[in-house]
Amino acid sequence: MPRHQLLQLPAMLFLGFFTGWQFLKKLKLEMHWGISLLIFVMASLIFWMLPHSIDAAVIDNRFNLLMLINMFVAGLLTFPVLRNIIFEIRILFLGMVAVMIIATGIALISFNLLLCSAFNIEQQKETGAVLIKAGIAFFFFTLYVFFRGIGKHRSYE
C-alpha cells in the first residue's frame, strides 16, 4: 500500500505535470475544457485511492500499467488547465485535492479492519499517517498559492 499510494500515484502525477510544463506551455484551453479536465483528474485520483483499485493494481500488472498511464495523463493535462484557469477554480481544485488526501489518510487510520486485502493493517495505518501529513503539506501549498494569487490580483487594481 505505501508503494502504490505514496510513491507510484504522486510520482506519475508529478512526471506528467512536469512533462506538461515542458511540452504544453503554449496550449490554451477554453474554460469548459479546463473544468472537464479537472473533473477527469479528480475522478482519476478518487478511483485510484479506492481500496479495490489498489488491490487490483497490486494483483494484476496490466491494471497497474493502466494506473500508471492514467496518472501520467492526468498530470500531463493538469498543467495547462491550472495555468490558464481562473484563480478561484484553481484554488478550489487544489483545496479539494488536499482535503481528499487528508480524508483518505483519516479513513485508513480510523478503520481497524483491513481495507485492502493485499496489505496488512500496519501498512494501512502507516500509509494513512503519511497521507495525512502529505495532505496537510499540500493544504499549506494551496494557502501559499492562494495568498500569492491574492497579491497578484491586488497589484492589478
pLDDT above 70 as % of the chain: 94
Q: Span 114-122, mean pLDDT? A: 82
**Does the pLDDT of residue 157 top 70, yes or no?**
no
| DSSP strands (E only) in the chain | none
148's grid cell: 500569492
Spans of all domains in the chain: 2-156
Q: Span 131-148, mean pLDDT? A: 93
- Distance (Å, rounded) from C-alpha 157 to C-alpha 149? 13
**Does the pLDDT of residue 66 top 90, yes or no?**
yes
4's grid cell: 502504490
**Does the pLDDT of residue 142 top 80, yes or no?**
yes
pLDDT above 90 as % of the chain: 46
pLDDT value, residue 115: 81
- For the entire predicted model, the pTM comes to 0.83
pLDDT value, residue 96: 94
- Distance (Å, rounded) from C-alpha 41 to C-alpha 7? 18
In angstroms, what CA-CA distances link 119 with 41, 68, 107, 109, 127? 26, 20, 15, 14, 11
**Does the pLDDT of residue 49 top 70, yes or no?**
yes
For residue range 71-98, list pLDDT tens digits in order.
999 999 999 998 888 888 989 999 999 9
pLDDT band for 16, please (50, 70, 90 cuts).
very high
